[in-house]
C-alpha cells in the first residue's frame, strides 16, 4: 500500500485543520461576504436600480472566498523558507500539511470557481481565472527578483493588484450580466475597496518596534510615516464614498462614519509611542464600512 493511499483518507481532515489555522472562516468568509455585498450592491444602486442579493451574488461570494483561500495556500508555499526560520510552528513547516496537498486543493478550487462562474458568463470565468493566474505568477517572480520578497513596499506594489483584479472580477461580472454599465463610478468604487483593504494591510504591519522577519512597513517609512499612510488610506476610502454618494443625500453618507475607527486607532498608536497599531480598529473599519455600504444599497434608492 502506498503512502498516498494511506494518506488520502486523512486529507480532508488535514486540509480542514489547515483552513481553521491559517484561513479562519469567521474572518475569510465574513470579509468575502461583506466585500461582495458592498461592491455589488453599491455598483447596482449607483445606476439608479434597486438591488437585492441573488443567486449570482452567492456565486460571487463563494468565488471570492475560495480565491482568498487559494491565495493563502499559495502564500504558505511561497513563504516556506522564511517560515522555517521565523514561524516554525506553521502547518507546512511542521508537516501538518504538505505542499502537494495544498497544490491539489488549489487545483480543485480552480475547477470549482471556473464551474461556478460558467453559470454566470464566459467573461466571469476569464476574470476569476485571471486573478488565480496573477497569483501564481508571484511565486516565480519572487524567486527571480528577491527584492520583491525582501522589500515590503515593493512586495505590496507587486502583490497589491490581486485585490484590484478580484474586485474587477465582481464588477466585471456585473457588467457582463448587464446589471451595470462600465463607467468612472466603477473605477472609483474599486479604488474605495482597495483603500479599505490597504488600510487594514498597513495597520497589520505598523509598529513602533521592528522584529526580525516581520516585514513591517513602519521599518521602511518609520512608525509615524506608516501611521500617516494608514490614516490616509482610510481618508481616501471616505473621500471616494463622498464622491459617489454625496449627491444622494446625507443618509447615503452614513458609511463615512466608519472613519472614527481609524481616527481612534491613530490616536492610541501615537499616544502610546510603543507597541503595534491596534489592529482591532482597522478590522472594525473594514467590517463597518462594507456592512454599511451593503445596508445602504438595500435600504436607500
- Looking at residue 95, its pLDDT comes to 87
Model pTM? 0.92
pLDDT of amino acid 6? 42
The C-alpha cell of 213 is what? 522577519
Domains and CATH numbers, the chain: 11-181 (1.10.357.140), 183-301 (1.20.120)
Three-state DSSP string of 229-256: HHHHHHHHHHHHHHHHHHHHCHHHHHHH
The parts of the chain modelled with pLDDT lower than 50 are 1-6
Tens digits of per-residue pLDDT, 142-187? 888 888 888 999 999 999 899 999 999 999 999 999 999 999 999 9
pLDDT of 221 reads 95
In angstroms, rounded to a whole number, what is the distance separating the alpha carbons of residues 32 and 39? 11
Return the C-alpha cell found at 121. Answer: 458568463
**Given this model, what pLDDT does residue 3 score?**
42
Amino acid at each position: 500500500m502506498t503512502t498516498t493511499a494511506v494518506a488520502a483518507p486523512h486529507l480532508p481532515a488535514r486540509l480542514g485543520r489547515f483552513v481553521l489555522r491559517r484561513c479562519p472562516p469567521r474572518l475569510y468568509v465574513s470579509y468575502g461576504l461583506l466585500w461582495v455585498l458592498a461592491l455589488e450592491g453599491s455598483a447596482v444602486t449607483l445606476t439608479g436600480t434597486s438591488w437585492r442579493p441573488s443567486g449570482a451574488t452567492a456565486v460571487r461570494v463563494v468565488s471570492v472566498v475560495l480565491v482568498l483561500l487559494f491565495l493563502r495556500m499559495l502564500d504558505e508555499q511561497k513563504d516556506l523558507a522564511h517560515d522555517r526560520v521565523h514561524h516554525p510552528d506553521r502547518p507546512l513547516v511542521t508537516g501538518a500539511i504538505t505542499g502537494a496537498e495544498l497544490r491539489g486543493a488549489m487545483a480543485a478550487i480552480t475547477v470549482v470557481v471556473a464551474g461556478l462562474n460558467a453559470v454566470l458568463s464566459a467573461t466571469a470565468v476569464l476574470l476569476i481565472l485571471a486573478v488565480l493566474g496573477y497569483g501564481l505568477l508571484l511565486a516565480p517572480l519572487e524567486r527571480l527578483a528577491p527584492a520583491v520578497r525582501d522589500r515590503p513596499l515593493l512586495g505590496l506594489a507587486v502583490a497589491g493588484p490581486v485585490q484590484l483584479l478580484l474586485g474587477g472580477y465582481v464588477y466585471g461580472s456585473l457588467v457582463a450580466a448587464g446589471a451595470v454599465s462600465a463607467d468612472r463610478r466603477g473605477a472609483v468604487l474599486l479604488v474605495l475597496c482597495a483603500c479599505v483593504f490597504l488600510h487594514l494591510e498597513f495597520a497589520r504591519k505598523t509598529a513602533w518596534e521592528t522584529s526580525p522577519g516581520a516585514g513591517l512597513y513602519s521599518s521602511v517609512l518609520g512608525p509615524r510615516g506608516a501611521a500617516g499612510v494608514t490614516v490616509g488610506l482610510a481618508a481616501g476610502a471616505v473621500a471616494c464614498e463622498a464622491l459617489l454618494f454625496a449627491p444622494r443625500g446625507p443618509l447615503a453618507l452614513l458609511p463615512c462614519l466608519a472613519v472614527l475607527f481609524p481616527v481612534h486607532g491613530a490616536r492610541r498608536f501615537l499616544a502610546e509611542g510603543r507597541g503595534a497599531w491596534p489592529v482591532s480598529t482597522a478590522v472594525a473599519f473594514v467590517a463597518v464600512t462594507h456592512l454599511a455600504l451593503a445596508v445602504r444599497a438595500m435600504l436607500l434608492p
